[in-house]
Every structure is written in C-alpha cells, then in structure tokens.
Amino acid sequence: MTNVLILGANGSIARFAIDLFLKETDAQLTLYLRNSGRLKNVDSSRVRIIEGDVLDIEKLKEAMIGQDVVYANLAGSLERMAKNVVEAMDSTDVNRLIWISSMGIYDEVPGERYSSILDPYRKSAAIIEASDLDYTILRPGWFTNKDEIDYETTPKGEPFKGHDVSRKSVADLIVKLAVTPGLEVRQSLGVSKPE
C-alpha cells in the first residue's frame, strides 16, 4: 500500500487523480489544500484531509511524515513552493515527487516562443531538478475535459508533440507514476494526446 500526499488537492487534475487512486489502487491519500470546504465527494476511509498552505513549511513537514509519494499540483508562488516542498521532503526522508509544470518551459514546443509567463514554471522545475529527489516533472499541453485516457510523453530535450490532453489522461499518468516504483524517475516529460 502506497501513502500519497496530494498538494493542491482541489486542482482540476488532482480531482481526477483522487478518483483514479480510489478506484484503481489501494493507496492511502492525504489531501492537502488551503480550503478543505472546496472538496466534494471524497468520503473514503482511505482519505485524510489537511487544511494548509504549502508556504507554511512546518505544516507541510507534518503532512509529509509517513508518506511514500508527494504529488504537487500547485499554482501561485511556484518558486517558493518548490523550495518548501524540496526542504520538507528532505527533512522527512520522503523521496518520490511528481510535480506538475507546463509545456514550453524548455522552449521545446516547435514554432512557439513563450514569454516570461512561464518563468515561475521554469524556475520551480529547475529547483526540483537540482534536488536529489526521485522526481518526475510533467509538462502537459492545454487541458481538455474529455472523458478519455489517451496520451503520449516526450522526454526533456525532444520537441513537444501535439498540444491538447485530457485532465483524465494526466491523472492516469500521475497514478501510474505514484504506484510504480522507479517509473520515469528523474525525468521531465511532456504530456500530450497523440496526433
């Protein structure tokens, strides 16, 4: 049984991931978010809810104790959040991190040049990559709400394929990464629907 801490548990991908974890695995979930009242339909004996902010390092460390995997689905001060996540994981001996970023952070999308809007994603990914954690960074394309699991990945250094990808597809990949030891460790993967 895997203990998974989900940071930003009310995020649009996280909600799909929570559903898949509960349906397809025996994982125990700790859902960490700023406002627990926003969570709906998460009535399970395998779920624990913690109301907290990732910028609160002490609360974050408390939530990390006993976890096997941390899945971070965050928005806001990404650079500070990445530093806190790495510090909290190091201090609690949790090693496996799945971090959601964005396509374009390495200028890997053919024909596209992205502006400074991606800087927080670039900088937070660089913090994760500089850590000694067993991370996997996911760089999904634009999200759709299609009820499908259909995706491919491209490693860092290769051109990004496609664009759109369903939230459910990204959630499926997150669940696979969380419950499969060693899968895509220390990798940064573009995620898109096959063209």
The helix or strand, by DSSP H or E, that contains position 78, with its residue range, turns out to be helix 78-92
Q: Which regions in the chain score pLDDT beneath 50?
A: none
Please tell us whether the domain made up of 3-192 is placed in CATH 2.10.109.10.
no
DSSP β-ladder status, 152-155 and 187-192 = antiparallel
User: HEC string of 34-67?
Assistant: CCHHHCCCCCCCCEEEEECCCCCHHHHHHHHCCC
Nearest-10 crossing angle of helices 78-92, 119-130: 20
Summarised one tens digit per residue, pLDDT across range 112-136 is 877 788 999 999 999 999 999 999 9
User: Which pLDDT value is given to residue 84?
Assistant: 98
**At 126, which helix (H) or strand (E)?**
helix 119-130
Note the pLDDT of residue 86: 98
Q: Residue 40's pLDDT is what?
A: 80
> 5 — phi, psi (to 5°)?
-100, 120
